Structure 1
């Protein structure tokens, strides 16, 4: 499949899940919105869960590149800011909340792939920090990411509170106070 057409399918998938939720997402709807036949979609993805899982990881709409600011603190602040944008700015906010929220109720929607892909990219932030002597080798990078991302999720999604301009700095300071060398 041509990369451009694949991105159109992913875009249609993510926008539909944002508008209608996982239960309202259909392969027929994606096919109609992206201008392809539904058999084309089923040829590449056997179910709507597989399609949404691929779209979460591969769509340009949710593109993610780990920051490289030259410092652990700067990289973590940039990561938290990226998570903040993902969870507070449309259309990413609606996509993330609908798709990842649906993963709790629908085990066939394997959101672990989304998180594994993100974490594989985020890991290099920690590897660079260890090489620079900014971080103990014994620190669990996934725990740090979980603490920071969890803070954004709880504040923005579950509590529905606004994130201040200084939220990323405050969250990173709270976490680094216990792990910085």
Structure 2
């Protein structure tokens, strides 16, 4: 339910590639070492990006997005390959250095996609993180059907434990980054909304009329508290222990 992972095997940029999606060696070096990304020099209003657009502002001037937007339709062909390379680069940079390692230039250098293309499509780190959550929403997930509410909640919790304790954990890295970006936080809410809607069936078939969201939160939220916030060790009984708390919420 809660593995926030869009990644599939991503083809690397072909050696010697040219054109708008292949970064030159000079661009790659600059993107990997620059302390602050700068906009590509261009006279086109579509691609001209001020320096302040490089990293999403999170201070008083930041504007929190409104309600969570629906996930965009998944592109195909060359556009899909570009998106996959960029999002794979976002994930690898987050795993290596956290939010502070994530710049548009660094993503361009790591992905092999020309920085102008990255700026034009995503513009800042908040948009890149939001795109990662949107891609995760597109991944199919089916709730378990073990024959009992306790069994289903336990299995969901086991999936959460696995996502938060694997090393490296892209789920943990993306959740942590969402605290630094209003756009990412908004996209994360959209991800959770989708997952809660899908998972509601495990409660509805066991206890029609019960508040499925309350039951799921009672079961799942303590796992995040224990593993992501408290950094407690994952004990063998963790998943079932809190699943019992959730199951008890229907009575």
Q: Do the two structures share a fold, i.e. TM-score over 0.5? A: yes
Cα deviations by residue, 1:31-77 (Å, 9 ceiling, x for unpaired): 111111011112221211111111123059x9561323254333322
Counterpart among 163, 167, 173 of residue 238 in structure 2: 167
1:69 aligns with 2:145: yes
| Mapped partners of 2:90, 2:234: distance in 1 | 28
TM-score (norm 1): 0.80
TM-score (norm 2): 0.60
1:119 aligns with 2:193: yes
| Mapped partners of 1:120, 1:74: distance in 2 | 21
Q: Quick check: which one's helix share is greater?
A: 1
Gaps of 5+ in 2: 1-77
* Residues 26-175 of structure 1 mapped to structure 2, 5 A cutoff: 26-59=103-136, 63=139, 65-71=141-147, 72-91=149-168, 93=169, 95-107=170-182, 109-127=183-201, 129-130=203-204, 132=205, 134-139=206-211, 141-175=212-246
Change (3 A) 1:21 1:47: same
Change (3 A) 1:15 1:142: farther
Change (3 A) 1:163 1:128: closer
Change (3 A) 1:47 1:78: same
Cα deviations by residue, 1:139-177 (Å, 9 ceiling, x for unpaired): 1x3333333332112211222221122211111112211
Note the aligned Cα RMSD (angstroms): 2.5
Q: What is the aligned residue count?
A: 173
Gaps of 5+ in 1: none
